Structures are given as C-alpha cells and as structure tokens.
Amino acid sequence: MVFIVGLILMCVLVWLFADQIKKYPAYFYAGAFILTVISYIVYKNVTMSEFVKTYLLGIFTTGTLGIADFYIVMFTGALRNGSPLIKKLMMIRGELSILSCILMFAHLAIFGPSYIGMAAKNASVMSKSLLVSIICGTVLLIQMIYLGVTSIKAVRKKFKAKTWKRLQRTAYLFYFLMYVHGVTMQATKIKSADKSALITIIAYSILFFTYVIMRVRKALLAKYKKADALKVAKFDKIGTSIAGVLAVALLCLITIPQFSEYAEASERIEARKKEAAELQAMLDALEEDEEVAADSAENVTEVAEENASEEASSENASTTVDSSNASSSNSATTNTSGTGSTSAGSTGSSSTASSSAGSSSASQGSSSSTGSAQAEATRTYKADGSYSASATVEDYAYPIVVTITISNDKIVSATANISAASDLDYDFAEMAAGGLSASGYSAVSGATYSSAAIQKAYNAAVAKAKN
C-alpha cells in the first residue's frame, strides 16, 4: 500500500517538475539527500506513531520513493518512440536514475548492515525468501553504485559510446533483481499476516510483467520495422495477446500461493495472540512471586531479629534465677544437714529414674525427627509442581519464559513461551526452543541469542525449584 502511494507521489512530482529537474539537477540531488539523512536520524532517535512511521517517514526509510523512481526510469525505456510522454521523461532519465540512488540512502543505511550480517551468520537456517531477498539486495547495491555513477554526465563523457551502452544494458538485470528482491521481502512479511505486503506483491508483479511485455514488443517492432506493415501489425496483436495471457498466468502462479500463506499466517497470528496473553500472565505471576519472596525474606529477617532479642532477655533472666536458687540451696543445706541428707538421697534416686525416662523419650523423638530430616535431605527439588523463569534475548529485547514441571522429584517436562518474538525473529526463537526438553537444554546453532536466553531462563527455573 505504501508503495502505491509512493509511486503516485513520484509520478506527480516528476510530471510537475521535469523541466526544473533538467535545469537544476544539483538542487534536487541536495534536497533528496537532506531528506533521506533527516529521515534516517528521525527513524533512529524519535518515537512516533505507526501511521507517521509507515506512511510519512516510511516512504524514505523503506526506499519506497527510490523504488518508485526506478520504475519510472524503467518504463521510460519501454514507451513508444515519438510519444509526448517519452519525450518528457527521456530528457531527464539520467537525472532520475541519480535521484533514485540518493533516495535509497536511508533504506540502505538502516537495513543493509543488519540484514547482510544476519545472512552471513545464519544463512543456513533462515527462510529461503528472506535469504534470496538479501542476496538480490546486495547485488542491487553494487549495480546501483556503478549505474548511478556512470549516469553522471561528467563520468559518462569518459566512456566510449558502445562501452557505456553495454554497461547500461545491465540495468535489465537490475530491474529483474529489483522485482525479485521486492517480492521475496514482502513474502517474508506475509508470514505475519501483513495485508499491505500482499497488495504490494500484486502491484510489483503487474508493473513488472507489463514492463516486460511493453519492452519486448518495442524491441521486436524496432527489429522488424522494415517488414510488411500488415504482417507486423498482425504479429503485434497475436504476440501481445499471447504475452498478456502468459503474464496473467505467471501473476496467478506467484500471487495465489501468497494468498494461501496469508490465510495460514492469519490463523497463526491468532494463536500467537493467545500465547502472548499467556506469556503476559506468566510474567505477571513471576513478578508477584518475586515481590512475595522479597516480602518473605524481609519478614524472616525481622522475626530472626526479634527471636535473637527474646533469647538474649531469657538468658539474662535465667542467669538471675539460677544465682538466686543457688544462694537459697546453700542456706538450706547449712541449717538442716541430717534431714536434708535422707531427703536428698531419696530425691536423687527419683530424679535419676525421671531423667532416664526423659532420655528415652527424647531419644525416640530425636530418632523420628532425624528420619524425617534425612528423607527431606534426599529430595533434589523442594516440592513437586511447576516453576517458571524468564530471560530477555540479547540485542532483540523480547522475553522468553521457560516453565519446568516437577513430579516425584524429577523434571518431567520443560516448555518455552516465545510468543513475544517479532515476526522476523520468531523462526529463530522457535528453532532455539527445539533444544529444550525434560533432560535439559542443548543450544541450537544459528539461533545463538535465543538459545542463550532459553538456557538462562531454564537454569533460573531449576534454581527456583531447588531453593
């Protein structure tokens, strides 16, 4: 949808300012460069609404205006010779090519390094459509540099006419790769049920196949211009009709699978929304558990301090009582020595029996307590049940929650909730989650950051189950 808006806007600007572009190209180059630099800075540093980011800033950051301008340059070569439109556009075709390259700056600066780096690290595991798009984009960048530079008049004059034409004919490869890059990149967005991506694929396909028919027709008519006019006209009608049918067939072949992918993605997105709600509930529960644990620790500390204070007071009181009893006992012994001796002997015997019984009882209680303690000590985890912990994926800033289930003092299951991953990251997170099982976690090659987060969350969940 953004592409269609950008294409209409670019057509209007070229139509209104064609003469000015021819007379003062440097001003338009400078203006385009300033706008792209500003859009890059704003994109990197300013938070904005989705509408502004997509439809206003997006025409620069996604390269929409640059791509639209390239399509104008492309169609200029396919227009009928002598028509008013080709006369208007052909005189500024070189300037439009340079302008297109400048308008692509923000898009290349924002997405180029990250996507090329992603392909270099994870080419073996990333989706085929995204990988093809990145490869085409890299080749396009190289072509865009030399085609743009050789479109400058001062540089063009240094080439022989045949050499320059031969070099510029590689633009046909550029147009093809531009189409493939656009379609495959939008195909990755369809996986997130992006309706505008589906519309953009249809628009790209209609434009490209229309261009191919027009350009081939123009080349054939030029080749056989000296042939019989009636035969040429007849061939033109038949050939164009056949080409049109083939183009429609190709369009259906390309777009119908995308409709199916879009329907599947819509169902998948709904399922992920439910998972996201579950994830949020887990995160909230974990936060509450942490708050409860902090409060419990604080309460335990306060109780320990109170107990220590009470024990200190009790010891002081006990010391005072013992001193008083000792003093009274000494006094009683001095005044009643004979009677006290008999009583003392009898009492001593009784005390011994009592002490023996108490010792027996204490021994039995101690034995019972020791057995219970030993049974507790043999457990690996504090109790059966489910324990969860979360970790944030480095550089991508989305959480993953790992939940383990303990039964009979063993981990019987381990699952990872990855619903917070973005559409482009989801495949990597899903791949990383495949290494998680009840026996532990094995890191997955090609999903380094997701694997590290899952390992961290798993370890934290196990630690929580043991504490």
Last residue in a domain, options 173, 191, 209: 191
Burial level of 17, CB count in 10 A (0-12/13-18/19+)? middle
The reported pLDDT for the residue numbered 137 is 92
pLDDT of residue 232: 67
Residue with tokens 């010891």: 315
Tell the residue number behind the tokens 């790992």, with chain if given: 402
Domain-located, residue 307: no
Which residue range is the domain that position 420 belongs to?
Answer: 385-466
Q: Which pLDDT score, from 0 to 100, does residue 421 have?
A: 80
CB-CB contact of 33 with 40 (8 Å): no
Pairing of strands 436-437, 410-417: unpaired
Residue ranges in 77-191 assigned as alpha helix (H):
84-90, 93-103, 105-122, 128-149, 153-156, 161-168, 171-190
Residue 280 tokens read as 């949020």
DSSP character at residue 56: I
Predicted confidence at residue 101, as pLDDT, reads 93
pTM of this structure: 0.62
CATH number, position 447: 3.90.1010.20
Residue 234 lies in a domain: no
Tokens read off for 416: 């990872």
Kind of pairing between the strands at 440-441 and 399-407: unpaired
pLDDT at 70: 93
Predicted pLDDT of residue 340: 36
The per-residue pLDDT for 335 is 42
Q: Which residue, 139, 164, 191, sits at the end of a domain?
A: 191
CA torsion sign, 177 to 114 to 443 to 382? negative
* pLDDT string in tens for the chain (467-residue length): 788 888 899 999 999 999 999 999 999 999 999 999 999 999 888 887 878 887 788 888 888 999 999 999 999 988 888 888 888 898 999 899 999 999 999 899 988 888 888 788 777 777 788 889 999 999 999 999 999 888 888 888 888 888 888 888 899 999 999 999 999 988 888 877 778 888 889 999 999 999 998 888 888 877 777 666 666 676 767 777 787 788 788 878 877 877 777 787 777 777 767 777 777 777 777 777 666 666 665 665 665 666 666 666 665 555 554 555 544 444 444 443 444 333 333 344 344 334 444 444 444 554 455 555 555 558 889 888 888 888 988 877 788 999 999 998 889 999 898 877 876 677 788 888 888 998 889 888 767 888 999 999 999 999 988 87
Residue 404 falls within a domain, yes or no? yes
Asked whether residue 269 is assigned to any structural domain, the reply reads no
What type of residue sits at position 198? L
* Domain finish residue from 191, 215, 244: 191
Task: Please report the pLDDT score of residue 67 as a whole number.
Answer: 92
Residue 414 is assigned to a structural domain of this protein: yes
Domain-embedded: residue 198: no
Q: Which residues pair with 15 in a beta bridge?
A: none
pLDDT of residue 329: 47
For the range 13-17, what are the long-range contacts, defined as Cβ-Cβ under 8 Å and sequence gap of 24 or more?
14/69, 14/72, 14/89, 14/92, 14/96, 15/88
Residue 142 covered by a domain = yes
Is there a domain that residue 83 lies in?
yes
How many domains does the chain divide into?
A: 2
